Chain A
């Protein structure tokens, strides 16, 4: 157990980190976009549509991500589709993230005061125009902090994909530990790498908070 066991294995871990980063980018972009659409639709459809979306959100929120990922991993083969593991778990992660995003977006839109919409309507503004000019800009300010928070969680929970054998940072770390038995140094290093990946988003969240405070 030499101190430089981490340094020796760093290139391998960084290769894993790159996969984690790629997976995160895909999950964040697709998950946030899907959730955004679902959240907006939830506030502009009839009662049946709302119930369906509420069910979508509630069911997904009530399931551990590991379970929905395992479901995705086994469901495709059970249905007769041959899908690579990383696609199955990626799709599961995107759907999972979208439920949380949808709920954040939906509640942010509903928290825009009704007087704002009344004022816009009284000017003669049409539905789409009110959404674009009045509701969404105000909802965005409300939604950004929880959305950034949610994105941080989403990045970290990509580590779960290692459970079904998808190779990324956490999986690579376990390989190295098995080989070197230097669990302490390696996982400390992995911690640092995850932190570095997440740090910019944390910074962004802080900066946004300060900016929003100034505008108010």
Chain B
């Protein structure tokens, strides 16, 4: 059974269909990188997986559990109870482009938020876990700082630690380096690479093509709300089939040809 199972996912805003039937699986421990121009629906797809966005058709399963909606035998679609969906969300960690750290809490308190307020584990235990994770992302010395004092790269690493604190089965990364200064991108990618090596199941939406090639087990290219191509990084990047993917690679790889 795949860890993530997406079948014919459809979403529209009024008239505009932004996801036109997306289907793919992610196996346990697999790292899938999603590429695509802005407006292709890749972030929206990611946000559907932990139900930050509602979707109108198709289904998503995490480790066999349907997210958001269940379909009865008669084919009727029913929204799951909010408490059930929150429970499912606990298993899906998410890291955001704009970090979204809680500004009124210290770094340590940010990482402890999930374990304390959702899992309800003891404070001492939560703090030990949080310190472990901060050490892992190299920010133990910043534990008592407020997020505003940190650089973008540091904030994003805290964002990763905060998501990991829930010990999720799956991690979703939504253009997590897009808001960073170029010299800060590396430190965030390093943490993600380490996670991948440890066997975390990940879906990464990014524009970092080099990183996609190095870390991704599979690449999916999306455009206009649909999957255009997918395959092994080495194959798909070397021999793009569609014109749209070729065009995309030319635009984004151009920047990296010298590096």
> A127 → chain B, closest Cβ, in Å?
7
**A118 beta carbon closer than 8 Å to chain B:** yes
Instruction: Tell me which residues across on chain A come within 8 A of B47, comparing CB atoms.
Output: 118
* B103 near A122: Cβ-Cβ < 8 Å: no
Are B118 and A123 closer than 8 Å at their CB atoms?
yes
User: With A124-B89, A137-B104 in contact, is A115–B96 under 8 Å at CB?
Assistant: yes
CB neighbours (8 Å) of A216 from chain B are 148
Shortest CB distance B210–A (Å): 27
A122 touches B163 (CB 8 A): yes
B86 and A124 within 8 A (CB): yes
| Among A118, A127, A141, contact of B104 (Cβ-Cβ < 8 Å) | A141
Tell me, yes or no, whether A22 is within 8 Å of chain B by CB: no
Per the bound structure, the CA–CA distance linking A122 and B86 in Å amounts to 8
* Contact partners of B102 in chain A: CB under 8 A: 116, 119-120, 134
Min C-beta distance of B202 to chain A, whole Å: 15
B82 partner residues in chain A, CB cutoff 8 A: 126-127
| Given A118-B100, A119-B102, A137-B104, CB of A124 within 8 Å of CB of B118 | yes
Q: In whole Å, how far is B257's beta carbon from the nearest beta carbon of chain A? A: 34
Asked whether A123 lies within 8 Å of B162 as measured between CB atoms, the reply is: yes
What number of B residues sit within 8 Å (CB to CB) of A? 28
Which of A113, A121, A141, A215 meets B89, CB within 8 Å? A121
0 or 1 for each of B94-119: is its CB under 8 Å from A? (1 = yes): 10101011111000000001100110
A138 within 8 A of B: yes
Q: Within the complex, what minimum Cβ distance (angstroms) separates B98 from chain A?
A: 5
- Give bound CA distance, A122 to B174, whole Å: 12
Tell yes or no: A133 within 8 A of B by CB. yes
With the chains together, A129 CA to B86 CA distance in Å? 12
Whether A125 sits at the interface, judged by CB under 8 Å, is yes
CA distance A113 to B114 in the complex (A): 19
Give the distance in Å from the alpha carbon of A115 to the alpha carbon of B163 in the complex: 14
Q: Tell me, yes or no, whether B19 is within 8 Å of chain A by CB.
A: no
B166 interface residue, CB < 8 Å from A?
yes
Partner of B117, one of A113, A119, A125, A137: A125
Q: Say whether A122 contacts B52, CB under 8 Å.
A: yes
Structural contact, A115 and B100, CB atoms closer than 8 A: yes
Which residue of B87, B98, B117 has the most chain A CB atoms within 10 A of its CB atom? Answer: B117
Q: Which residues of A contact B114 (CB under 8 A)?
A: 123-125
**B50 located at the interface, meaning its Cβ lies under 8 Å from any Cβ of chain A in the complex:** yes
Instruction: State the Cβ distance, A16 to closest chain B Cβ, in Å.
Output: 42
Query: Is B90 among interface residues, defined by CB-CB distance under 8 A?
Result: yes
How far apart are B158's CB and chain A's nearest CB, in angstroms?
11
The distance in angstroms between the C-alpha atoms of A216 and B148, with both chains bound, is 7
Q: Which of A123, A127, A138, A215 touches B166 (beta carbons < 8 Å)?
A: A123
Q: Is the CB of A124 within 8 A of B87?
A: yes
Flag whether B122 is at the interface (Cβ < 8 A): no
Q: Which chain B residue lies CB-closest to A119?
A: B100
**A93, B102: Cα distance in complex, Å:** 37
- CA gap between A138 and B163 in the complex, in Å: 21
Let me know if B94 and A122 touch, CB within 8 A: yes
CA distance A118 to B47 in the complex (A): 9
Does B83 lie at the interface of the complex (its beta carbon under 8 Å from any beta carbon of A)? yes
Find A123's partner among B98, B104, B113 (CB 8 Å cutoff): B113
State whether B117 touches A133 (Cβ < 8 A). yes
Question: Are B117 and A122 within 8 A (Cβ)?
Answer: no
Closest beta carbon of chain B to A109's beta carbon, Å: 14
A-B contact pairs, 5 of them (CB 8 A): A115-B100, A119-B102, A121-B50, A126-B83, A134-B102
Interface residues of A (CB under 8 A from B): 113, 115-116, 118-127, 129, 133-134, 137-138, 141, 215-216
Task: List residues of chain B with CB under 8 Å of any chain A CB.
Answer: 47, 50, 52, 82-83, 86-87, 89-90, 92-94, 96, 98, 100-104, 113-114, 117-118, 146, 148, 162-163, 166
Extra inter-chain contacts (10) besides given A119-B102, A124-B86, A133-B117, CB under 8 Å: A116-B100, A121-B86, A123-B162, A123-B163, A124-B166, A125-B114, A125-B117, A126-B86, A141-B104, A216-B148
A-B pairs, top 8 by smallest CB distance, nearest first, are A124-B90, A119-B100, A122-B94, A123-B114, A115-B100, A124-B118, A124-B89, A137-B104
